[in-house]
């Protein structure tokens, strides 16, 4: 015959009383609305991902290359940053091809 042991509770209240008692869940540690709302790059990357799905990083890379060859440096930097947000390796490969001296610094 086996012996079963059940440890005594803390004495404050029973398990049923704790289950029925409403406790507000703690806030997530990464929940900083002000930081997320102001991050335009993150919003842009998420919208781009929502539009293009898993191919979003590839599309951002193509947009960055197109802007680079058209001479639009601001657009190139924007699309490179979006690509870096979605896929850092792909963005680093683009940077290494365009700017070999700065890629080693990363």
Q: Report the 10 Å Cβ neighbour count for 94.
A: 21
Q: Note the pLDDT of residue 57.
A: 93
Kindly indicate the confidence band of residue 24, based on its pLDDT and cuts at 50, 70 and 90.
low
Q: Report the 10 Å Cβ neighbour count for 96.
A: 14
Q: Please, what sign has the CA dihedral across residues 24, 32, 80, 99?
A: negative
Length of the chain in residues, anyone? 106
Q: What is the pTM of this model?
A: 0.56
Measured distance CA(26)–CA(105) in Å, rounded:
41
Domain ranges of the chain: 33-98
Task: State the helix-helix crossing angle for 73-86 and 88-98, rounded to 10 degrees.
Answer: 150
Measured distance CA(18)–CA(79) in Å, rounded:
52
Q: Report the 10 Å Cβ neighbour count for 76.
A: 20
pLDDT higher than 50, residue 52: yes
Kindly indicate the confidence band of residue 37, based on its pLDDT and cuts at 50, 70 and 90.
very low
pLDDT higher than 90, residue 51: yes
Measured distance CA(20)–CA(27) in Å, rounded:
21
């Amino acid at each position: 015959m086996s012996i079963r042991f059940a440890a005594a509770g803390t004495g404050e209240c029973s398990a049923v009383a704790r289950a029925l008692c409403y406790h507000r869940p703690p806030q997530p540690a990464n929940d900083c609305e002000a930081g997320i709302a102001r991050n335009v790059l993150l919003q842009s990357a998420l919208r781009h991902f929502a539009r293009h799905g898993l191919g979003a990083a590839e599309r951002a890379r193509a947009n960055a290359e197109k802007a680079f060859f058209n001479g639009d440096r601001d657009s190139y930097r924007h699309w490179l940053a979006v690509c870096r947000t979605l896929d850092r390796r792909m963005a680093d490969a683009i940077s290494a091809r365009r700017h070999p001296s700065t890629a080693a610094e990363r």
